[in-house]
Amino acid sequence: GQNIDQPTEMTATEGAIVQINCTYQTSGFNGLFWYQQHAGEAPTFLSYNVLDGLEEKGRFSSFLSRSKGYSYLLLKELQMKDSASYLCAVRDSNYQLIWGAGTKLIIKP
């Protein structure tokens, strides 16, 4: 079957760096997405990786290794507003999105 694994919850300190990992086993691969979802709000698109390597967008970066079935989202200079759930999703060979259960990130002062 198809599966996305990511940690359920992580805690980090304001101003620090945190890495959220995502591993996947899917039928084919057509891209990996990261979304951010604040409590009670809509998920919003953060990043898209289809080739191996690092994509940087301001304080957020996303890395992909297709051979390892692995991605991570790196958040730098953490701010309190980064407290949210982070969802990893992979598009398979049928162009279906397979979702992880999300990682709840708690930022402490």
Partner 1 sequence: ETGVTQTPRHLVMGMTNKKSLKCEQHLGHNAMYWYKQSAKKPLELMFVYNFKEQTENNSVPSRFSPECPNSSHLFLHLHTLQPEDSALYLCASSQVYEGPGELFFGEGSRLTVL
Q: What is the 3-state secondary structure (H, E, C) of 58-94?
A: CCEEEEEECCCCEEEEEECCCCHHHCEEEEEEEECCC
Restricted to residues 79-98, the positions that interact with partner 1 (CB under 8 A) are 87, 89, 95-98
CB 35 within 8 A of CB 87: yes
- Residue 7 contacts partner 1 per CB under 8 A: no
Residues 25-54, one symbol each (x = binds partner 1 by CB under 8 A, - = not), give: ------x-x-x-----xxxxx--x-x----
Count of chain residues binding partner 1 (CB under 8 A): 22
Report which DSSP code applies to 6.
-
Nearest alpha carbon to residue 18 among 109, 106, 99, 90: 106
CB 92 within 8 A of CB 26: yes
Considering beta carbons, is residue 14 or 52 the nearer one to partner 1?
Answer: 52
Of the residues 79, 101, 106, 108, which one makes contact with partner 1 according to CB under 8 A: 101
Q: Which residues of this chain interact with partner 1, rule CB under 8 A?
A: 4, 8, 31, 33, 35, 41-45, 48, 50, 87, 89, 95-102
